Amino acid sequence: MTTIPSPSAAILVVDDDEVMRDLLRRVLERSGYEVVTATDGRDGVERLRGRAVDVTITDMVMPVMDGIELIQTLVAEQPSIRIIAVSGVDDWDNYLKTARSLGAKAVLRKPVGSAELVSTVKRVLMGEC
């Protein structure tokens, strides 16, 4: 029997675009998730230290530490971490393929619809990705 993940799972959203970060946070909170946000990869790593999250959603192109570096760092520190990579750049396919090869459980192309985001988070939480 498949267990349905608790809607109170903790999600870390890492995106340098404040509007996108806030949109993702609001969608996930409305779906019952606890959301922590970070402005770039380095901020994301700091927010994860001493705090457990169930899923990390990261943008790929960010200053300071991009999504590739973030994924590499998180997987090295926590091999079982569940990551969803998101990108909207012109070369999004290469970024997302790289993210997947480094350990991202799922990838999404921006703009991400609310239903697609929530269903992807649920699938990742249930281990279906």
The CATH number given to whatever domain includes residue 23 is 3.40.50.2300
Nearest one of 98, 93, 71 to 82, comparing CA atoms = 71
Residue with token string 């991009």: 66
Residue 83 lies in a domain: yes
pLDDT of residue 5 exceeding 50: no
Query: What are the tens digits of pLDDT across the range 43-57?
Result: 999 999 878 899 999
Buried-state track 31-43, b at ≥16 Cβ within 10 A, e below 16 = bebebbbbbbbbb
- Cβ neighbourhood burial of 110 (10 Å; 0-12, 13-18, 19+): middle
Question: Strand pairing of 34-38 and 10-14?
Answer: parallel
Residue 4 lies in a domain: no
pLDDT at residue 56, as a whole number: 98
Range of the domain at 115: 10-125
Residue 68 backbone zone (phi > 0: left; psi -120 to 50: alpha; other: beta): alpha
Residue 90 lies in a domain: yes
Question: Which band of pLDDT confidence, cut at 50, 70 and 90, is reported for residue 102?
Answer: very high
Residue 37 lies in a domain: yes
How many folded domains does the chain comprise?
1
